[in-house]
Amino acid sequence: MSSTVGRLLVAPPALRDPNFTEAVVFVLTHNDEGAFGLVLNRPSEVPVSTVLPAWEDRCTWPANVFSGGPVQLNAAVGLVRVTGPTEGVAVALGDLGTVDLERDPMLMPAITDLRVFAGYSGWGAEQLDGEIATGGWIVVDAAPGDPFDPQPKTLWTRVVARQGGVLASLARTPNPEWN
């Protein structure tokens, strides 16, 4: 299977895992050792100011902690967009990377966007490849604004709809569990 780095994993309607129902996962790492990503459309009710007050002013709206996935829920991951090289930022994809949230945010002027995630989505070696091969995920290209979308709760519907064709029809299909 080819790498999904920088792409989105979109949960198909048939995915029954409550951790990933209608999830949109941005993949940051995918190699022989496994994969690592963040669920982009699960904002919590917890403001970043309550857990990382120094970073609140750097957050992209909504400035809440997001649920990045079911792995290590006590770990905070900062996803950032940068405008230049910045010490303390692991730039994974062009202008996107992760930031060490223990650093002083005032020493990082090149950060233009920030989302804080509690936990992450992770897969062991070849696990994600197997899930994709059996239809467990739909892999699509990410748009530049997806990681910091200001309306994250509707991201799944919009990502699916912009694919066109049969896939776009999923965005208009009601979920039978809503009844």
pTM (two decimals): 0.92
Q: What is the pLDDT of residue 176?
A: 45
At residue 169, the 3 state secondary structure works out as helix
Q: What is the pLDDT of residue 87?
A: 72
Both structure tokens of 164: 């066109």
130 — phi, psi (to 5°)? -65, -40
Q: What is the pLDDT of residue 155?
A: 97
Domain boundaries, the chain: 7-178
Beta strands in the chain (DSSP E): 7-10, 24-31, 34-39, 43-47, 64-67, 71-82, 89-93, 96-99, 111-124, 138-141
Q: Which residues contact 168 (CB under 8 A, 6 or more apart)?
A: 160, 161, 162
Q: Per residue of the chain (179 residues), give pLDDT as tens.
A: 678 999 999 999 988 899 999 999 999 999 999 999 999 999 999 999 999 999 999 999 999 999 999 999 999 999 999 987 667 777 678 889 999 999 999 888 788 999 999 999 999 999 999 999 999 999 999 999 999 999 999 999 999 999 988 787 777 665 544 43
Q: What is the pLDDT of residue 164?
A: 85
Question: Between the CA of residue 44 and those of 4, 10, 47, 147, what are the distances in Å?
Answer: 26, 20, 8, 16
Q: What is the pLDDT of residue 1?
A: 62
Q: Is the CB of residue 113 less than 8 Å from the CB of residue 99?
A: no
Task: Indicate the fold that domain 7-178 takes in CATH.
Answer: VC0467-like (3.40.1740)
